[in-house]
Amino acid sequence: MIKTVEWTREGVQFIDQRKLPTEEVYVLCRNYQEVAIAIRDMIVRGAPAIGVTAAMGVALGVQQSSAKDIQALRSDFNHICQVIGETRPTAVNLFWAIRRMKDKFDAVAGQSVETIKATLVKEAQQMHVEDIAANEAMGRHGATLMPSSGGVLTHCNAGALATCGYGTALGVIRAAVEAGKQIHVFADETRPFLQGARLTAWELIKDGIKTTLIADNMAGAMMRQGKIKAVVVGADRIAANGDVANKIGTYTVAVLAKEHGIPFYVAAPWSTVDLNTPTGEQIPIEQRSAKEMTHHAGKQIAPEGVLVENPAFDVTPNKYVTAIITERGIARAPLADSLKELAGAVVSV
């Protein structure tokens, strides 16, 4: 399995996603500041991977703290959480992970500094294990929704590289293929960061899954030609009413899918569901650098002085979402009720 993010004795290690698919190199972050940079600069990316990385960054920072008493350790801890919390605003998994680390700190706050440090490291490692298990559970649930054969479109990268392993949307595809379904993946290239062309295509080809790369503006034509039987994507934040924030361009795909009568599925772990955010309207959308648009592979492709919009994510209203696949089960319309029901579900992944 691809080692997207790994806890090591020396620090937190990542496969450098900016360099794929031409170079497979690993980056070691030796302190929490470097981990924060790795998230911000998208060496590591994808909501679940960002969440676990945030937890590991917090654990690393706390482990290296020179604090001698709990009060000083808590002060360091709060500062580390703040730095890591300011890296990327949309994927709620980042804030979910920090919250979980805070809860863990509180739970053991009466113990020694060394015990707190060890407990936080263990918690981050546990989140890594749980993420893979959640993906495998999503795969089992979601595989049943995939067609027995034919084209499945995906947008961005919601694979092993976006998680600790196996993937959410690509986990569903992997599980369907493992179950004998003859799936042919259509991967949107996903301008401007090209997660589809660089990452999704790389992962799927490595696994021997038949994959066709298309430019984002080809999805409608492929649907019209009958080449797409289902769409499955990941998510960065799912509001309480089932509105879905995901990579910019997802909304376009969802509208196209509805027009063509094609089911549109979202696969995401429960850590992506944000019941405290009522609708997609309240989800903060990250704006990234204009250079991602005006330059390609270091080369300028747009004229100096042009205005640029570069929102990294968009929101797909719940009416376009056929179902949300989580490790707790599948939510269907009305999504608000269905998500509420899953919130109370007993979790066994």
Residue 44 makes contact with ligand MRU by CB under 6 A: no
188 forms beta bridges with 214
Q: Which is nearer to ligand MRU, 124 or 248 (CB)?
A: 248
Piece of 39-47, 66-74, 98-106, 301-309 that binds ligand MRU (CB under 6 A)? 39-47
Residue 48 makes contact with ligand MRU by CB under 6 A: yes
Rounded distance, CA 259 to CA 321, Å?
Answer: 13
Q: Residue 80 phi/psi, 5° resolution?
A: -60, -45
Sequence-ordered alpha helix ranges (H) in the chain: 32-40, 47-63, 70-85, 92-108, 113-143, 169-178, 195, 201-206, 219-224, 250-259, 291-294, 335-343
Rounded distance, CA 62 to CA 107, Å?
Answer: 16
Binding residue (CB under 6 A) for ligand MRU from 53, 65, 87, 195: 195
Q: Which is nearer to ligand MRU, 316 or 318 (CB)?
A: 316
C-alpha closest to that of 243 among 266, 259, 263: 266
Binding residue (CB under 6 A) for ligand MRU from 20, 29, 46, 89: 46
Residue 316 makes contact with ligand MRU by CB under 6 A: no
Run of H or E residues at 20: none
Site map for ligand MRU, 222-241, x if CB under 6 A?
------------xxx-----
Piece of 22-30, 64-72, 106-114, 162-170 that binds ligand MRU (CB under 6 A)? 162-170
Q: Which is nearer to ligand MRU, 65 or 195 (CB)?
A: 195
Is 236 a known active-site residue?
yes
Binding residue (CB under 6 A) for ligand MRU from 162, 201, 240, 330: 162
Residue 45 makes contact with ligand MRU by CB under 6 A: yes
Residue 47 makes contact with ligand MRU by CB under 6 A: yes
What is the DSSP code (8-state) at residue 347? Answer: P
Q: Which is nearer to ligand MRU, 81 or 156 (CB)?
A: 156
Residue tagged active-site, from 106, 131, 216, 236: 236
Residue 156 makes contact with ligand MRU by CB under 6 A: yes
For residue 316, the minimal CB distance to ligand MRU (Å) is: 11
Run of H or E residues at 300: strand 299-300
CB distance 5 to 44 below 8 Å:
yes
Q: Which is nearer to ligand MRU, 236 or 274 (CB)?
A: 236
Angle ∠(15,81,130) on CA atoms, nearest 5: 55
Annotate 89-111 with b (16+ C-beta within 10 A) or e (fewer): bbbbbbbbbbebbeebbeebeee
Write out the catalytic residue numbers: 236
Chain contacts with ligand MRU (rule: CB under 6 A)? 45-48, 91, 156, 158, 162-163, 168, 195, 234-236, 246-247, 312
